[in-house]
Amino acid sequence: MKGSDTKERILKEALSAFALHGYDGARMDKIAAAVGINKASLYFHFKSKEEIFRELFNGILRKYKSFIRRTADLVSGLETRERLDKFCHNYLQDSFDNPEIDFWNRIYYLPPAQMRDDILKLTKDDKECMMTELAKIIDDGKVRKQVRDIDSKKAASILYYSLTCVALSKDIMTKKEGLSDMKDCLDFFWQSISK
């Protein structure tokens, strides 16, 4: 087995362990066993559990921002309502299908104490990234005279919290239910902001 393959397998097993058991409950010996290596071999690839955790977390942050920007680009040029529909649909589709979201949900609400401030700061940056893209869509809707003259940042905030609430509920509802609930939220949201 190549070193890079082993490292990827360690990250995959660690992702699952952190998502299921949190930072403190994830055990290096269990991660190593799931990969099929001994604990000493695991430490050859990573110096500590914190190093594994930070690599996973930082990778997810990079992917998240990239995904948000790609999604915003994908819907550009469409009518405002359709842009919002497709943005929300793509976001939730990814949230329900992406195993990294289980890790994200766990560490966002129950961050390791020694990394809590870093995690909250970095996730705030990601929140701003998404809210900025949503505000741009709403601002464009105002220019197109499809959206009333409202505070775009506040409107984006409402939509952001609706989206993330549904995404965080992936363990208690099906993807179909989540998409349906978000459609209802978006219908009401649109009625309140459209001209």
Amino acid present at 71? T
Amino acid present at 190? W
Distance (Å, rounded) from C-alpha 158 to C-alpha 150?
A: 12
Choosing among 3.90.10.10, 3.40.50.2300, 1.20.1260.10, 1.10.10.60, the CATH entry for 1-47 is: 1.10.10.60
CB atoms within 10 A of CB 134: 26
Contact call for residues 10 and 35 (beta carbons, < 8 A): yes
CA atoms within 13 A of residue 194's CA, in its CB half-sphere: 12
Task: Give the total residue count for the chain.
Answer: 195
Q: Where are the domains of the chain?
A: 1-47, 54-193
What topology is assigned to 54-193 in CATH? Tetracycline Repressor; domain 2 (1.10.357)
Nearest to 165 by CA among 112, 91, 100, 107: 91
For 44, residues 6+ apart whose C-beta sits below 8 A from its C-beta are none
Distance (Å, rounded) from C-alpha 55 to C-alpha 82?
A: 36
pLDDT in tens, the chain (195 residues): 565 789 999 999 999 999 999 999 999 999 999 999 999 999 999 999 999 999 999 999 999 999 999 999 999 999 999 999 999 999 999 999 988 888 888 888 888 888 999 888 888 888 899 999 999 999 999 999 999 999 999 999 999 999 999 998 888 999 999 999 999 999 999 999 999
